[in-house]
Structure 1
């Protein structure tokens, strides 16, 4: 896995070519234009990465994953059966980051401790559901599918939170962002499905603004869907619901306040902003072991590609 320690601080690019970003590599490849392609003419023959002016992609997904023992491999392959889209081999992949961080917490048995500190509630049990796959059910999570249907979605093309954690006291939805923002609109603005009418007009109980304002004018379509589906699932489980937007410390500082203008919170239903740096700081407090060191090194070495002036971009403010 390549990061700050292994990559050049600045790369040479011209109209026709891009040099390999790995230090001490003088090889150049043909420059990509528009969409990213995994073709041999764009691949460094030595380091086997596919290169563009702003990012690169590993030859295999495994190369971008910190945790891939037999248990991880089994879980990952099961997730891929239900997960709709993945660019996990890409250097700046949100999915790879999500896997590496959340699997660390899960493998180390730290989810309940982390969530207890996050929510200021004693969490005793936790199941990590990544991209809708429930390890306990060995399939996409039944309650999420029921929520999709209740609000007019199909299971195959329904809303897919990055991270769901079902606990004994709180249902957590966490939407992870790295290089993208919480700005989405519906693919078909005229098709509202049953978002406003499902579960006896539950929409009116949890939102201040109407669908058009939130989903289209304010571009909070994804947040709207997750707030709605998560609130409904938590009601079925009779537990609290906490929805977090997980972003870089430098990004979307006003997201909590902006979304507050449209949602209705209660003591049992909350939305907040969380940062990757917060998770890093939590990990730094843990007792030292090899996996902790591997995780902190990953955070500190992580990049998100190259800027328009060809210089490397450090991912986190740590």
Structure 2
């Protein structure tokens, strides 16, 4: 896995070619334009990566996963059967980052402690549901399927991270290089406003046009609505988290919070990757902890328009 220690600080490009970003490599490949294409003419034959001016993609998804033993990959393969799309081989993949962090917490039985840490509640049990796949059900999580059926006419929403616990349903929407601005013209309203005796009007202050069309909060709107409904069926609290970099969307709690009706049982929070790093840093030492700490410190978020590498996290 390539990061700050392995990649060039500045990567040269011109109108026709771009250098391989790995230190010491002199290979140049044809410069590609968006959308990213995984084609042989863009591949460094030495390091087996597909290159664009701002990022690169590994030959296989496994190369971008910290946790990839047989049990990890068995779970990963099950997830891919229900996951909508996957760019996990891409260096700046939100999904790869999500797996690398939350799979660590899950496989080392650290989720209850982490969730207690961020929520202030004493969490005892936790099931991690990545991209709608429930390990307990060995399928797409039935409660999410039911919520989709109630509110959405198609397959619908796919939260990055759902965690069902004994006290709270946690829904965490992970962002890395993208933002929570997700525009939608509401060409299809589905049943968002009308389902469950107009639940929408009971948990939103603003109307759907304001939240979705004017403020571009389509994704957060859906997750607040579906998560609130699922938690109500389970008779537990609901907490929605926007997971972002420390430097990003510092006012998201206020900006989205003005549109929703929170209560003691229903809350919205901003969470940063750096806060998770802080939690991990304070864990008892182990080779797995050190591997994740090194990953955070070495992680990049691509190259900027001037070809200068961007450090991912403020750690």
Give per-residue Cα distances to partners, 1:18-58, cap 9 Å, x unaligned: 11100111111111122111111100010000000000000
Alignment-derived partner of residue 284 in structure 1 = 281
Conserved 8 A contact 1:152-1:198: no
* 1:29–1:278 distance in 2 versus 1, CA, 3 Å: same
Alignment-derived partner of residue 232 in structure 1 = 229
Q: Runs of at least 4 residues of structure 1 off by over 3 A?
A: none
Query: Cα offset for 1:12?
Result: 1.0
CA distance in 1, matches of 2:12, 2:151: 50
SS of the equivalent of 1:270 reads strand
CA distance in 2, matches of 1:117, 1:50: 39
Match status 1:295 vs 2:289: no
CA distance in 2, matches of 1:111, 1:190: 39
CA distance in 2, matches of 1:179, 1:216: 22
Alignment-derived partner of residue 51 in structure 1 = 51
Conserved 8 A contact 1:42-1:51: yes
Conserved 8 A contact 1:19-1:27: yes
Alignment-derived partner of residue 158 in structure 1 = 156
Query: Cα offset for 1:70?
Result: 1.1
Match status 1:211 vs 2:208: yes
Q: Which of 220, 242, 245 is equivalent to 1:245?
A: 242
CA distance in 2, matches of 1:190, 1:30: 39
Query: Cα offset for 1:185?
Result: 2.2
SS of the equivalent of 1:91 reads coil
Match status 1:129 vs 2:129: yes
SS of the equivalent of 1:86 reads coil
Q: Give the TM-score taking structure 2 as reference length.
A: 0.99
CA RMSD of aligned residues (A): 0.7
SS of the equivalent of 1:202 reads helix
CA distance in 2, matches of 1:240, 1:189: 29
Give per-residue Cα distances to partners, 1:216-247, cap 9 Å, x unaligned: 11000000000000000000000000000000
Alignment-derived partner of residue 223 in structure 1 = 220
Name stretches of at least 5 consecutive residues in structure 1 with no aligned partner.
Answer: none
Correspondence list, 1:107-122, <5 A: 107-122=107-122
CA distance in 2, matches of 1:34, 1:200: 44
CA distance in 1, matches of 2:216, 2:83: 24
Correspondence list, 1:249-268, <5 A: 249-268=246-265
SS of the equivalent of 1:305 reads strand
Query: Cα offset for 1:190?
Result: 2.9
SS of the equivalent of 2:238 reads strand
Instruction: Say how many residue pairs are matched.
Output: 315
Q: Which moved more, 1:165-174 or 1:112-121?
A: 112-121
Correspondence list, 1:1-318, <5 A: 1-154=1-154, 157-186=155-184, 189-318=186-315
